[in-house]
Copies of this chain bind each other. A is one copy, B any other.
Amino acid sequence: MYVSARSDYALRAMLAVAAGTTGDAATTGGDRKPAGADGHPPPGGELVKAAALAEAQEIPLSFLQGILVDLRRAGLLLSHRGTEGGYALARPAEEITVGDVLRAVGGSLTTVRGLPAERAGYQGVATGLRDVWLAVHGAIALVVDQTTLADLLSAGQRPTADAPLAGT
């Protein structure tokens, strides 16, 4: 039961993009974005630069760039190049779940020895193990597929009251 650094970074980056900017800009108004008076606002919202994400969440910038490419190819992020470029959510934060992000960077949600949990191929006395992994997979999916980025953002503002705990 191991969550890779890639998955953790991807979720933190997505949350930072959803929040807009540096990370604790909830109170500090500051300057928003120039947004060029030309007339092409980004479809998903405001554009956040990769360097800002790396600094806000303390993620190695070059490693983060590879993760952002995966998120864009999965259809979760929109990117824009150039001087005022950056990243924005492809969908509202209410419609992006934690499971979407995990699957975008990790392939399958749960893997056993590198393979998806469904195809394990046990034999002899270990036949029952497959059901255990499937049960674990279901329990994890129940949590991550029902938690959206918007949920996490609102939970972060409050003093951590209603954690989406399933059993204990």
Q: SS class of chain A's interface: helix, strand, loop or mixed?
A: helix
- Say yes or no: A163-B151 contact (C-beta < 8 A), given A139-B142, A143-B139, A156-B128: no
How far in angstroms is the closest Cβ of chain B from A168?
A: 5
The B-contacting residues of A in range 52-68, CB under 8 angstroms, are: 56-58
Contacts A12-B129, A140-B140, A163-B135; is A2 near B124 (CB within 8 Å)? no
A155 cross-chain contacts in B, Cβ below 8 A: 127-128, 131
> Roughly how many angstroms separate A165 CA and B133 CA in the complex, as a whole number?
10
- Of A32-40, A74-82, A104-112, the stretch lying at the interface with chain B is A104-112
**From A1, A3, A4, A56, residue with most partner B Cβ within 10 Å:** A1
Judged by a CB distance under 8 angstroms, whether A71 is at the interface is no
- Across the interface, A156 reaches (CB within 8 A) one of B109, B126, B147, B153, namely B126
How many residues on chain A are close to B (CB under 8 Å)? 65
**Known contacts A132-B144, A142-B167; A4/B2 CB under 8 A:** yes
> Nearest-CB distance from A45 to chain B (Å)?
14
A1-19 interface with B by 8 A CB criterion = 1-5, 7-8, 11-12, 15-16, 18-19
Residues in B with CB closer than 8 Å to A127 are 155-156, 160
Contact residues of A with B, CB < 8 Å? 1-5, 7-8, 11-12, 15-16, 18-19, 22-24, 56-58, 98, 102, 106, 109-114, 117, 122-136, 138-144, 147, 151-156, 160, 163-168
